[in-house]
Chain A
Amino acid sequence: MSEEKARKVGEVICEQLVDAGKKDSDIVVLTSDSRGSGSLVPFAKELPKQIVEVGIAEQDLVTISAGLAHSGKRPFAVSPAAFLTMRSIEQVKVDVSYSNTNVKLLGISGGNSYSVLGSTHHSLQDLAITRAIPNLEVYMPCDQYQTVGLFKYLVKSDKPAYIRIGKKALNNCYSNPEEAFVKPGKANVLRNGKDVALVAMGETVPEALKAADLLEKQGIKATVVDLVSLKPLDTELLSKISNEFSDIYTIEEHSIYNGIGSAVAEVVATSGSAKLHILGFPDAPAIAGTQDEVFSYYGLDGAGIAKNVEKSIS
């Protein structure tokens, strides 16, 4: 793990897009009054001809992007994840996925990161819907290195994708982009332990690592898997661990329904023997609080995960 300081994923993405946009003028960014929260003001300053502002109109944001892509552009449509994946979902299904346009959908301030702004602003069902849409890759980078690796791939790739990021600065889980992002559908094993497997993605990866540290002190050795992409899914690795471990825990910043836990369950149910424990947000509007308070309340922080594992392992 690198010693470099924690960084906000949004700022790293902006650097990557500026860099790619300078080399390839077809790279365009679309915003819906969201360039500030998307950390894209530097992009707008450096490449003013490659940013399109559509106003507070998320449905148009997606479909205009699809039109641009159809005519050879490589659009990155940027809007809060909650609006991008709910308000605009039919546009995603039809104009991006079905028509197969090369649109990258960047959902900012995702999951619970808008915290006390309430359920209108949370995206805790976005993985459920995006992973059920064919022809759409789904990512949730967990640190600055994975973000760099992922975006080096995305600026070149010809496939539609949904990328969800949060707001806060993320500690490093990796030490370089090559290690953090190998290719779509390739999960990373961050730690090896024989007693239990923890499967996470995005902002729950550092929490799973913390849990593994805490469990180690109790003599429980945990394997930690970073899925990297929810779609395509690394079914090979998941099927392997679902036969190696008797207990697998999935940890997600998402509803317990139809997200990471469900994706893993689909593999375990068909090809494994492990018992699966799905940790996530309950089937109700999330409680008010800072993101850290909320993670702790629902047992999604390192301590909460460790406690849960201890209960069922011992």
Chain B
Amino acid sequence: MDVEQLEKKAIEMRKATWEMIYRAKSGHTGSDLSCTDILVALYYKVLNQTPETFKNEDRDRYIQSKGHAVEILLNILADRGYFPKEDLLTYSQFKSPYIGHPNNHIKGIEMNTGSLGHGLALSVGIAKAAKMDDKDYHTYVLMGDGEQAEGSVWEAAMAAGSFKLDNLTAIIDHNGLQITGKTKDVMNSEPLKAKYEAFGWNVVEIDGNDMSQLVDVFDLKPVQNKPTLILADTVKGCGVSFAENKAEWHHKVPTEEQYKEALDVFDKELEERK
């Protein structure tokens, strides 16, 4: 897919996620919309992985450490053919495996996440295994910026640097918000760039809602002996104007009116791109 097609796909996935959350009356709306473009770039362009190759030892790995943004991940996996789209109609319902956090009973999901601060260490283990076995696969992990307050993140960051894991790329969904408010007010984790660099990482800053910048950054050759951090500046709630940059949209469910308003916008945008 080229950048234009990826951009269109991102609108489709935002729309599907918006519909799913409204239907289920549950979901991490702002968190999903924030990282949509990152996940679209990964799943339609970057990851060397398909439903057919998902069990292959050589597949690229993706770990979603900010597991609460599960709705966008599930919609993308369904669209890529990991499981039928109709399955998602059971999302958050009695006995469904499609629950509010990644569940590895579902094809396409490597590990269970949802408790913040696990994903980076999991990815260090996965990337270290590739080094031990001389494998070429690459490991990607997505974290939140609020999540950076967990001490386990920094233990793993130190290990990744020490192990010289240049086969590991972490992405921080740098939207500046968490549940209570602005991350810099709740627990200031900045300056993230300097911190990761001090831990032995190569750090690249981009606009994480700009598809061409995402495509370019994932195209860069890894710096030898260093893990890479993509510090992706994003807008929480991106794509739904009234939900953008508002902490309360972290896990807010749209009202009927809000639901329709955003749906109209998505439809118009898709129409324009026909």
Which residues of A pack against B, CB within 8 Å?
A: 31, 33-37, 53-57, 59-60, 82-83, 87, 116-121, 287-290, 293, 297
Q: Are A57 and B100 in contact (CB under 8 A)?
A: no
Bound together, the chains give a CA A225 to CA B192 distance in angstroms of 53
Bound together, the chains give a CA A287 to CA B105 distance in angstroms of 13
Q: Are B100 and A33 in contact (CB under 8 A)?
A: no
Shortest 10 CB-CB distances between A and B: which pairs? A55-B187, A120-B114, A55-B149, A117-B100, A289-B94, A118-B99, A120-B115, A56-B149, A116-B92, A57-B149
B residues 115-161 touching A (CB-CB < 8 Å): 115-117, 146-147, 149-151
Check B112 for interface membership: any CB of A closer than 8 A.
yes
Q: Are B114 and A56 in contact (CB under 8 A)?
A: no
Bound together, the chains give a CA A289 to CA B92 distance in angstroms of 7
Q: Are A56 and B117 in contact (CB under 8 A)?
A: yes
Check B258 for interface membership: any CB of A closer than 8 A.
no
A34 partner residues in chain B, CB cutoff 8 A: 179-180
Which residues of B pack against A, CB within 8 Å?
A: 26, 67, 92-97, 99-101, 103, 112-117, 146-147, 149-151, 178-180, 186-187, 189
B92 partner residues in chain A, CB cutoff 8 A: 116, 288
Q: With A35-B180, A121-B101, A121-B114 in contact, do A55 and B96 touch (Cβ < 8 Å)? A: no
B179 partner residues in chain A, CB cutoff 8 A: 33-34, 36-37
A60 partner residues in chain B, CB cutoff 8 A: 151
Q: Are A288 and B180 in contact (CB under 8 A)?
A: no
A56 partner residues in chain B, CB cutoff 8 A: 116-117, 146-147, 149-150, 178, 187
Q: With A33-B186, A287-B95 in contact, do A120 and B149 touch (Cβ < 8 Å)? A: no
- Contact partner of B97 (CB less than 8 A), chosen from A35, A36, A288, is A288
Distance in Å: Cβ of B202 to nearest Cβ of chain A: 25
Q: With A53-B186, A57-B187 in contact, do A118 and B101 touch (Cβ < 8 Å)? A: yes
- Contact partner of A83 (CB less than 8 A), chosen from B95, B101, B115, B178, is B115
Q: Are A119 and B146 in contact (CB under 8 A)?
A: no
Closest residue on chain B to residue A53 by CB atoms:
B186
A–B pairs, 17, beta carbons within 8 Å:
A31-B180, A33-B180, A35-B180, A53-B187, A56-B150, A60-B151, A87-B117, A116-B96, A118-B103, A120-B67, A120-B115, A121-B100, A121-B115, A287-B94, A288-B94, A288-B97, A289-B93
Q: Are B95 and A116 in contact (CB under 8 A)?
A: no
Q: Are A288 and B115 in contact (CB under 8 A)?
A: no
B26 partner residues in chain A, CB cutoff 8 A: 116
- Contact partner of A120 (CB less than 8 A), chosen from B96, B113, B151, is B113
A120 partner residues in chain B, CB cutoff 8 A: 67, 101, 112-115
Known: A55-B189, A120-B113. 6 other contacts (CB 8 A): A57-B150, A120-B67, A121-B101, A121-B115, A293-B94, A297-B94
Bound together, the chains give a CA A82 to CA B114 distance in angstroms of 11
Distance in Å: Cβ of B116 to nearest Cβ of chain A: 6
Closest residue on chain A to residue B98 by CB atoms:
A288
Distance in Å: Cβ of B188 to nearest Cβ of chain A: 8
Bound together, the chains give a CA A37 to CA B178 distance in angstroms of 13
- Contact partner of A289 (CB less than 8 A), chosen from B95, B146, B180, is B95
Bound together, the chains give a CA A263 to CA B63 distance in angstroms of 39
- Contact partner of B100 (CB less than 8 A), chosen from A37, A87, A116, A287, is A116
A33 partner residues in chain B, CB cutoff 8 A: 146, 149, 178-180, 186-187
Bound together, the chains give a CA A290 to CA B25 distance in angstroms of 12
Distance in Å: Cβ of A169 to nearest Cβ of chain B: 18
A288 partner residues in chain B, CB cutoff 8 A: 92-97, 99
Closest residue on chain A to residue B180 by CB atoms:
A33
A59 partner residues in chain B, CB cutoff 8 A: 151
A290 partner residues in chain B, CB cutoff 8 A: 94
Bound together, the chains give a CA A292 to CA B100 distance in angstroms of 17
A87 partner residues in chain B, CB cutoff 8 A: 115, 117
Q: Are A117 and B101 in contact (CB under 8 A)?
A: yes
Closest residue on chain B to residue A36 by CB atoms:
B179
B101 partner residues in chain A, CB cutoff 8 A: 117-118, 120-121
